[in-house]
Structure 1
């Protein structure tokens, strides 16, 4: 339908004196908008799938999309700084303006989903650079910040510190009792989050054919959940490494309390510094913190550490192959505010670097993306049930808004398959233990 210029009075949509239905695609007269509003209006108008209803601070509305083939979302603009931040910093500014309280919505996930389903009309996501709209003017600032956050030996520890060392007590508020901070695996709808995390651990142990005689290397300890599960259920030896001092001390205390000191060795070190050979290697959602420049080095190190008939299993969040370069060259809100130095690899990029690093080959691949959507739902629910405790830790309203945006941002990305998560198993040719 051809767009019409309208006047909105007391919540009613009027065109030439005739009331129209909200399902029609409409927008306000351009001369009623300021410069930044006009730019954002120009950016949003081509986004035709679904519908976004935007309520302005003066009570007027901007409505985008055809109401078909997608999500219906609503946002209320509290402060016109929203438009400036979006113009200057694009998607990053959009998220920052939410954290600052410039806009609100009853469903953040739906708002972000609406943006994602309109990806080919989105000014910073579309694949055709020539069609990109005039926003994100100051993206160079965010990109420069990213350049100094490389995952070198020193940089990696600093980047991890910024997220994971918020305090173990904080993470306890929303994680399950196993303290597992990665996607669970729900074998059935009745599973609790804790049960689903143990199910994920069991799958990993089965996929790597874990035996009591094995020495297993875990790259990225987390809070020790997988290492303790492997030892308790399979009787193997585990060396687990982390660059987080908070996590290291927590795991060290935990294994002492569980009487597992003779079976688990937790080291505060980088994967690049590990020596020896291991029967099995497991790394659960750690590759996202490696970085483009270090993939080959990471897999070469794994190749050297793994015995000839060894097996390696990864759980990794993946970007689409055709958008990896865009992910790599542009800073998004998550990288700037939640996981400094992070980058989601693509399947093709991972396999390319595995092949360059030695003779390991992909043996098994399982996409588990729907399980992350449910995991995020439960983390978000737990988080918001603990707001009093979070505030008692002196985290302010902006911090709470930031984390709620983080949960919903990730959920929307997984739900729309803008990103995915998979379990991947690698080994060498002629490994008869895989038969």
Structure 2
């Protein structure tokens, strides 16, 4: 496997000094403590202080325990930014899951109550702490490349520590007729890939454009069907490994991997596919993205998009807000709703959504497997040069997302778009 190793003590792009040194103590920190006490009374998770006492009275029966290791640091961090401070507090070691409890397990009750865990009068003040997306993270042509590189060019070897052999970094699709835990991961990932290709009606002789290469599995599987594939990525590391995998599969004559932005793509294709790419586009550029899909699709063709989703009301509540996941994991991103996709395509393209297949609980299982593998590979991750701060950040990221999908706050779906006037079957 061709990789580029990173230097020792690599930390996440976007990590800030306040992760280690919280500021703005005083009145705001005391206010943060008061809010946490109120939150504790709404969630069946006990917030346990170092002396064994608890912060507020948790709803019974308990479903988890959070051990607050450094209370004053935690309050100060929340005072700085409530939305970002929780995750940064975990990275810094200010809190952890209580003994005998899993991290995703203690996050789940909060995710289930996310829309009302903070008392309504205080929730109305969110505009005072919400921050807009920094200009440096806007998905301009140059900004998109920086944002993608910040995540996907960390190291191919890093991703290989927790992904399945297909190197698929998107939700698997399990057989709903069997228990998820009993199913093979690679098989479930390939089932996802072929479901997308089926949705896009990819067959022998099809011309296919993939926006967002990943490490090449979808392009390879489409080529094995007899399709001619062009796949686009902005990640140098992904492009190098994808080309190597295409060569190893003997499909160089059927797959072209391009280091190219979707906005600069040309040609017309029978099928345009994009798996978990739209979340990285940014709301500002959704019209550009979907217009590009429309422009690149040949008459009678089909677009198939796999997208992480949230409900429309949650999308409206968070669309102007800069959060932990954007700061530390996916700069420039925003999760859409189905309605947002429908409204964007209706206003800016001839494309219309005609099928939606949602399978959010499959993503919860996918994330459980990724996190278990990542945690088990801690020593290997350390050898690759990623320090404890990075590992804790990614552990929180995977658990945070798992709780989101398990609770239903987040969803994932394969979405088909066609031009109705063309009479696509």
| TM-score, normalized by the shorter chain, greater than 0.5 | yes
Q: Which has the higher contact order (CA 8 A, sep 6+)?
A: 2
**Residue matched to 1:205:** 197
Verify the 8 A CA contact 1:89 1:137 in the aligned structure 2. no
Verify the 8 A CA contact 2:200 2:304 in the aligned structure 1. yes
Task: Supply the distance in 2 between the matched residues of 1:289 and 1:135 (Cα, whole angstroms).
Answer: 24
Structure 1 residues 55 and 38, CA, compared in 2 at 3 Å: closer, same or farther? farther
Structure 1 residues 111 and 63, CA, compared in 2 at 3 Å: closer, same or farther? farther
**Residue matched to 1:156:** 144
105-114 or 237-246, which deviates more: 105-114
Are 2:284 and 1:293 equivalent residues in the alignment?
yes
Residue in structure 1 matching 2:167, options 159, 165, 179: 179
Residue in structure 2 matching 1:87, options 79, 82, 96: 79
Aligned pairs for 1:298-337 within 5 A: 298-337=289-328
5+ unaligned residues in a row in structure 2: which ranges?
1-25
Verify the 8 A CA contact 1:86 1:135 in the aligned structure 2. no
**Residue matched to 1:53:** 46
Task: Supply the distance in 2 between the matched residues of 1:134 and 1:387 (Cα, whole angstroms).
Answer: 40
Residue in structure 2 matching 1:117, options 109, 112, 127: 112
Task: Supply the distance in 2 between the matched residues of 1:47 and 1:415 (Cα, whole angstroms).
Answer: 21
Task: Supply the distance in 2 between the matched residues of 1:203 and 1:254 (Cα, whole angstroms).
Answer: 21
**Residue matched to 1:255:** 246
Q: CA deviation at 1:415?
A: 1.0
For normalisation by structure 2, the TM-score amounts to 0.87
Task: Supply the distance in 2 between the matched residues of 1:195 and 1:286 (Cα, whole angstroms).
Answer: 22
Q: CA deviation at 1:40?
A: 2.3
Task: Supply the distance in 1 between the matched residues of 2:127 and 2:36 (Cα, whole angstroms).
Answer: 11
Verify the 8 A CA contact 1:89 1:136 in the aligned structure 2. no
Aligned pairs for 1:32-431 within 5 A: 36-37=29-30, 39-45=32-38, 48-67=41-60, 72-79=63-70, 80-105=72-97, 106-123=101-118, 130-132=121-123, 139-140=130-131, 143=132, 146-187=134-175, 188-189=178-179, 190-232=182-224, 234-429=225-420, 431=422
Task: Supply the distance in 2 between the matched residues of 1:120 and 1:318 (Cα, whole angstroms).
Answer: 16
SS in 1 for 2:391: helix
1:265-300 per-position Cα deviation (integer Å, ceiling 9, x unaligned): 110000000011000010000000111111111111
Structure 1 residues 133 and 429, CA, compared in 2 at 3 Å: closer, same or farther? closer
Verify the 8 A CA contact 2:28 2:76 in the aligned structure 1. no
5+ unaligned residues in a row in structure 1: which ranges?
1-32
Structure 1 residues 147 and 348, CA, compared in 2 at 3 Å: closer, same or farther? same
Larger Rg: 1
Structure 1 residues 35 and 432, CA, compared in 2 at 3 Å: closer, same or farther? closer
Q: CA deviation at 1:255?
A: 1.3
Verify the 8 A CA contact 2:37 2:56 in the aligned structure 1. no
SS in 2 for 1:313: strand
**Residue matched to 1:7:** none
Structure 1 residues 77 and 191, CA, compared in 2 at 3 Å: closer, same or farther? same
Task: Supply the distance in 2 between the matched residues of 1:58 and 1:417 (Cα, whole angstroms).
Answer: 35
**Residue matched to 2:20:** none
Task: Supply the distance in 1 between the matched residues of 2:27 and 2:335 (Cα, whole angstroms).
Answer: 37
1:226-261 per-position Cα deviation (integer Å, ceiling 9, x unaligned): 0001111x1110000001111111111221222211
Count of aligned positions: 392
Task: Supply the distance in 1 between the matched residues of 2:263 and 2:277 (Cα, whole angstroms).
Answer: 14
Question: What is the root-mean-square deviation in Å for CA atoms of aligned residues?
Answer: 2.2
SS in 2 for 1:252: helix
Structure 1 residues 43 and 384, CA, compared in 2 at 3 Å: closer, same or farther? closer
For normalisation by structure 1, the TM-score amounts to 0.85
Verify the 8 A CA contact 2:112 2:408 in the aligned structure 1. no
SS in 2 for 1:329: coil
Structure 1 residues 363 and 401, CA, compared in 2 at 3 Å: closer, same or farther? same
